[in-house]
Amino acid sequence: MKPTRLIIVAVGGQGNLLASKVLGEAALMADIPVRMSEIHGMAQRGGVVESAMVFGDARSTIISDGEADVLVGFEPSETLRALNKCNPRTTVITNMAALPPFTVAIGRGTYPDLDHLKRLITEKTGRLIAFDAAELARAAGNIMSVNIVLLGALCQTGILPVSEDMVRRAIETRTKAAFVDTNLKAFDLGYQAAVA
Protein backbone atom coordinates (compact mmCIF):
# COMPACT_ATOMS: atom_id res chain seq x y z
CA MET A 1 0.00 0.00 0.00
CA LYS A 2 1.44 3.34 -1.10
CA PRO A 3 2.22 5.50 1.94
CA THR A 4 -0.04 8.41 2.90
CA ARG A 5 1.55 11.02 5.14
CA LEU A 6 -0.36 13.23 7.55
CA ILE A 7 0.94 16.04 9.73
CA ILE A 8 -1.17 17.43 12.58
CA VAL A 9 -0.07 20.68 14.23
CA ALA A 10 -1.68 22.21 17.27
CA VAL A 11 -1.05 24.27 20.37
CA GLY A 12 -0.37 22.32 23.58
CA GLY A 13 -3.70 21.34 25.17
CA GLN A 14 -5.75 21.20 21.94
CA GLY A 15 -5.93 17.42 21.92
CA ASN A 16 -3.62 16.69 19.02
CA LEU A 17 -2.33 13.47 20.58
CA LEU A 18 -5.85 12.14 21.14
CA ALA A 19 -6.74 12.86 17.51
CA SER A 20 -3.74 10.93 16.22
CA LYS A 21 -4.44 8.13 18.68
CA VAL A 22 -8.02 7.81 17.35
CA LEU A 23 -6.73 7.63 13.77
CA GLY A 24 -4.07 5.11 14.78
CA GLU A 25 -6.66 2.88 16.47
CA ALA A 26 -8.91 3.16 13.41
CA ALA A 27 -6.02 2.03 11.21
CA LEU A 28 -5.30 -0.87 13.57
CA MET A 29 -8.94 -2.01 13.40
CA ALA A 30 -8.81 -1.91 9.62
CA ASP A 31 -5.44 -3.72 9.56
CA ILE A 32 -3.79 -0.82 7.76
CA PRO A 33 -0.09 -0.36 8.57
CA VAL A 34 0.39 2.81 10.62
CA ARG A 35 3.28 4.53 12.40
CA MET A 36 3.27 7.84 14.14
CA SER A 37 5.56 10.11 16.10
CA GLU A 38 4.95 12.94 18.48
CA ILE A 39 6.95 15.25 20.69
CA HIS A 40 6.39 15.37 24.45
CA GLY A 41 8.10 17.12 27.32
CA MET A 42 9.12 20.73 27.37
CA ALA A 43 7.50 21.38 24.02
CA GLN A 44 4.11 20.88 25.64
CA ARG A 45 4.30 23.85 28.01
CA GLY A 46 2.10 26.03 25.80
CA GLY A 47 4.28 25.38 22.78
CA VAL A 48 3.55 23.80 19.43
CA VAL A 49 2.70 20.09 19.34
CA GLU A 50 3.27 18.29 16.06
CA SER A 51 2.43 14.72 15.29
CA ALA A 52 3.25 12.83 12.14
CA MET A 53 1.35 9.76 10.90
CA VAL A 54 2.43 7.49 8.08
CA PHE A 55 -0.18 5.04 6.75
CA GLY A 56 0.81 2.22 4.39
CA ASP A 57 4.13 0.63 3.51
CA ALA A 58 6.85 2.83 4.94
CA ARG A 59 9.07 2.38 7.95
CA SER A 60 9.79 5.99 8.92
CA THR A 61 7.71 7.56 11.66
CA ILE A 62 8.53 11.16 10.76
CA ILE A 63 7.77 13.24 7.68
CA SER A 64 10.30 15.42 5.88
CA ASP A 65 9.71 18.91 4.50
CA GLY A 66 7.57 18.89 1.37
CA GLU A 67 6.32 15.32 1.92
CA ALA A 68 2.96 15.61 3.70
CA ASP A 69 -0.07 14.50 1.68
CA VAL A 70 -2.35 16.17 4.23
CA LEU A 71 -1.74 18.87 6.79
CA VAL A 72 -4.31 19.40 9.55
CA GLY A 73 -3.81 22.54 11.62
CA PHE A 74 -5.76 23.16 14.82
CA GLU A 75 -4.76 26.84 14.82
CA PRO A 76 -4.34 29.05 11.73
CA SER A 77 -0.90 30.54 12.42
CA GLU A 78 0.40 27.06 13.27
CA THR A 79 -0.98 25.74 9.97
CA LEU A 80 0.92 28.51 8.19
CA ARG A 81 4.08 27.74 10.16
CA ALA A 82 3.90 24.10 9.01
CA LEU A 83 3.67 24.96 5.27
CA ASN A 84 7.24 23.71 4.85
CA LYS A 85 5.81 20.19 5.25
CA CYS A 86 3.56 20.70 2.19
CA ASN A 87 4.00 20.50 -1.55
CA PRO A 88 1.84 21.74 -4.45
CA ARG A 89 -0.40 18.65 -4.14
CA THR A 90 -0.95 18.72 -0.37
CA THR A 91 -4.46 19.10 1.02
CA VAL A 92 -4.57 21.49 3.96
CA ILE A 93 -7.36 21.51 6.53
CA THR A 94 -7.29 24.28 9.09
CA ASN A 95 -9.27 25.60 11.98
CA MET A 96 -9.62 29.38 11.52
CA ALA A 97 -10.19 30.23 15.21
CA ALA A 98 -6.98 32.03 16.18
CA LEU A 99 -5.10 31.50 19.43
CA PRO A 100 -2.50 34.26 19.25
CA PRO A 101 0.69 33.24 21.04
CA PHE A 102 1.70 35.13 24.13
CA THR A 103 4.57 36.78 22.26
CA VAL A 104 1.98 38.86 20.38
CA ALA A 105 0.53 40.20 23.64
CA ILE A 106 3.95 41.43 24.77
CA GLY A 107 4.63 43.08 21.44
CA ARG A 108 7.09 40.55 20.01
CA GLY A 109 5.60 39.67 16.65
CA THR A 110 2.41 40.36 14.72
CA TYR A 111 -0.32 37.80 14.22
CA PRO A 112 -0.84 37.12 10.50
CA ASP A 113 -3.91 38.50 8.73
CA LEU A 114 -6.30 35.58 8.28
CA ASP A 115 -7.40 36.38 4.71
CA HIS A 116 -3.77 36.73 3.65
CA LEU A 117 -3.02 33.45 5.41
CA LYS A 118 -5.75 31.64 3.46
CA ARG A 119 -4.54 33.15 0.20
CA LEU A 120 -0.95 32.05 0.86
CA ILE A 121 -1.94 28.47 1.69
CA THR A 122 -4.22 28.27 -1.36
CA GLU A 123 -1.44 29.48 -3.65
CA LYS A 124 1.16 27.04 -2.38
CA THR A 125 -0.79 23.84 -1.89
CA GLY A 126 -3.30 21.65 -3.71
CA ARG A 127 -6.43 22.42 -1.74
CA LEU A 128 -7.44 24.38 1.35
CA ILE A 129 -10.37 23.54 3.61
CA ALA A 130 -10.69 26.30 6.20
CA PHE A 131 -13.47 26.85 8.72
CA ASP A 132 -14.09 27.80 12.33
CA ALA A 133 -13.77 24.45 14.10
CA ALA A 134 -14.11 26.06 17.53
CA GLU A 135 -17.61 27.26 16.64
CA LEU A 136 -18.56 23.76 15.48
CA ALA A 137 -17.07 22.23 18.63
CA ARG A 138 -19.20 24.56 20.74
CA ALA A 139 -22.23 23.63 18.63
CA ALA A 140 -21.46 19.97 19.31
CA GLY A 141 -21.49 20.74 23.02
CA ASN A 142 -17.82 20.76 23.97
CA ILE A 143 -15.23 23.37 22.99
CA MET A 144 -12.55 20.72 23.66
CA SER A 145 -13.73 18.71 20.67
CA VAL A 146 -12.03 20.92 18.04
CA ASN A 147 -9.75 17.95 17.42
CA ILE A 148 -12.65 15.64 16.57
CA VAL A 149 -14.32 18.28 14.36
CA LEU A 150 -11.13 18.40 12.31
CA LEU A 151 -10.98 14.60 12.15
CA GLY A 152 -14.46 14.73 10.59
CA ALA A 153 -13.25 17.12 7.91
CA LEU A 154 -10.16 15.00 7.33
CA CYS A 155 -12.25 11.85 6.82
CA GLN A 156 -14.52 13.66 4.35
CA THR A 157 -11.57 14.27 2.01
CA GLY A 158 -11.08 10.51 1.63
CA ILE A 159 -7.31 10.97 1.43
CA LEU A 160 -6.48 8.63 4.30
CA PRO A 161 -6.83 4.89 3.73
CA VAL A 162 -8.93 4.59 6.92
CA SER A 163 -12.68 4.71 6.42
CA GLU A 164 -15.08 7.10 8.09
CA ASP A 165 -16.78 4.12 9.82
CA MET A 166 -13.53 2.94 11.36
CA VAL A 167 -12.82 6.39 12.73
CA ARG A 168 -16.32 6.54 14.21
CA ARG A 169 -15.74 3.17 15.85
CA ALA A 170 -12.42 4.36 17.23
CA ILE A 171 -14.15 7.45 18.66
CA GLU A 172 -16.76 5.21 20.28
CA THR A 173 -14.25 2.84 21.81
CA ARG A 174 -11.22 5.01 22.43
CA THR A 175 -12.51 8.36 23.70
CA LYS A 176 -13.96 8.88 27.19
CA ALA A 177 -17.44 7.36 27.47
CA ALA A 178 -18.93 10.64 28.78
CA PHE A 179 -17.81 12.47 25.61
CA VAL A 180 -18.66 9.91 22.94
CA ASP A 181 -21.96 11.56 21.95
CA THR A 182 -20.55 15.08 21.68
CA ASN A 183 -17.49 13.70 19.90
CA LEU A 184 -19.61 11.92 17.28
CA LYS A 185 -21.64 15.09 16.79
CA ALA A 186 -18.41 17.08 16.46
CA PHE A 187 -17.17 14.55 13.90
CA ASP A 188 -20.34 14.94 11.81
CA LEU A 189 -20.21 18.74 11.92
CA GLY A 190 -16.59 18.68 10.75
CA TYR A 191 -17.44 16.21 8.01
CA GLN A 192 -20.24 18.46 6.72
CA ALA A 193 -18.04 21.57 6.93
CA ALA A 194 -15.55 19.93 4.56
CA VAL A 195 -18.33 19.11 2.05
CA ALA A 196 -19.35 22.76 1.80
Instruction: Decide if 88 contacts 69 (C-beta within 8 A).
Output: no
Asked whether position 11 contacts another protein by CB under 8 A, the answer is yes
Q: Which residue among 91, 125, 145, 147 contacts another protein (CB under 8 A)?
A: 125
Q: Is 73 helix (H, G, I), strand (E, B) or coil?
A: strand
Q: Nearest distance from residue 48's CB to another protein, in Å?
A: 5
Taking residue 45's Cβ as centre, other Cβ atoms within 10 Å add up to 8
Asked whether position 142 contacts another protein by CB under 8 A, the answer is no
Calpha distance 168→163 (Å, rounded): 9
Q: Which residue among 15, 72, 74, 101 contacts another protein (CB under 8 A)?
A: 101
Asked whether position 45 contacts another protein by CB under 8 A, the answer is yes
Asked whether position 30 contacts another protein by CB under 8 A, the answer is no
- Output phi, psi for 158, to 5 deg: 70, 15
Q: Which residue among 7, 18, 70, 83 contacts another protein (CB under 8 A)?
A: 83
Which C-beta is closer to another protein: that of 7 or that of 193? Answer: 7
Q: Which residue among 38, 135, 164, 188 contacts another protein (CB under 8 A)?
A: 38
Please list, in sequence order, all residues whose beta carbon lies within 8 angstroms of the beta carbon of residue 132, skipping any fewer than 6 positions away: 95, 96, 97
